[in-house]
Amino acid sequence: MTGSRPGIVNAVTDPFDGALEQVEQLREFYAAAMERAVSKDIGHLDEMCRRLIAAAPMLFVATYSEQGQCDVSPRGGPPGFVTVLDDQHLAIPDATGNRRLDTLENVVASGRAGVIFVIPGRDTTLRVNGRACVTAEPELLERLTPVGKPPHTAIVIETEEVYGHCPKAFVRSKLWDPATWPDTAGLPTPAEVSVAHQRDPNWSVEQEEHRQADALLYRLD
């Protein structure tokens, strides 16, 4: 098979064959960015951003490792769980998780992060990108709204890019319209997915259901 790679099964050609390799090639397929799309980046956290962040119970943080492996992870809590420290810095408290620490390790390794803040029912999001670090300084952690237990650490982002992102993805997906939501009866349950991916023949779906329920009931904080 020409151009085949490990992991490509029953493929006639490698989908990476013929991929664009230069930014100039990519730009041939698109018109120039609108001036408003460029100028909306204010680079700092103004009063508008503070109000949006204070209302956001959910964000997605993107990071990458020293080897360039990418990761996007959700973070959630009560509205206002992310603290704006000043016009250039915000802090995201760590919360109880699976202790893989993918996001935290990536930030320590690369010193960069990108965040999208999501507000339920609102199609427009807020994007913040910049230099980042992980801190365990007690004085800083005391300023944060804990998500369950007091955080062991927090991600601090120094803003370089800050802008409201257009609503088209949310409009197209109709994310907030319950009438468009899929029938979950046709989807694998979280326990079924977990058992399938763990590949442990001695662990059943019923056992996993009990474990997940117990984790949410007793170990969310």
| Mean pLDDT calculated for residue range 192-207 | 95
42 and 149 inside one domain: yes
138 and 188 inside one domain: no
Q: Answer yes or no: is 6 within a domain.
A: no
Q: Residue 221: what pLDDT?
A: 64
Q: Residue 1: what pLDDT?
A: 40
In this structure, of 36-40, 107-111, 152-156, the range with the lowest mean pLDDT score is 36-40
* pLDDT tens sequence across 131-183: 999 999 999 999 998 888 889 999 999 999 999 999 999 999 999 999 999 99
56 and 89 inside one domain: yes
Q: Answer yes or no: is 214 within a domain.
A: yes
Q: E strands within 55-146?
A: 58-64, 70-76, 83-86, 89-93, 112-118, 125-135
94 and 190 inside one domain: no
Our separate counts of H helices and E strands in the chain read 8, 7
127 and 163 inside one domain: yes
Looking at every residue in the chain, the average pLDDT score rounds to 91
* pLDDT tens sequence across 2-31: 444 555 555 568 989 989 999 999 999 998
Confidence of residue 36 (pLDDT cuts 50, 70, 90): confident
Tokens of 85: 């420290």
115 and 152 inside one domain: yes
Q: Residue 218: what pLDDT?
A: 77
Q: Answer yes or no: is 24 within a domain.
A: no
Report the domain count for the chain. Answer: 2
Q: Answer yes or no: is 26 within a domain.
A: no
pTM for this structure? 0.88
* pLDDT tens sequence across 46-99: 999 999 999 999 999 999 999 999 999 999 999 999 999 999 999 999 987 778
Count the neighbouring beta carbons within 10 Å of the beta carbon of residue 122. 15
Residue-number span of the structural domain to which 121 is assigned: 37-172
Compute the Cα dihedral for 41, 42, 48, 54 and give only its sign. positive
105 and 146 inside one domain: yes
CATH number of the domain that residue 43 is part of: 2.30.110.10
Q: Residue 192: what pLDDT?
A: 95
135 and 207 inside one domain: no
61 and 87 inside one domain: yes
Q: Residue 33: what pLDDT?
A: 84
Compute the Cα dihedral for 130, 134, 136, 141 and give only its sign. positive
Confidence of residue 38 (pLDDT cuts 50, 70, 90): confident
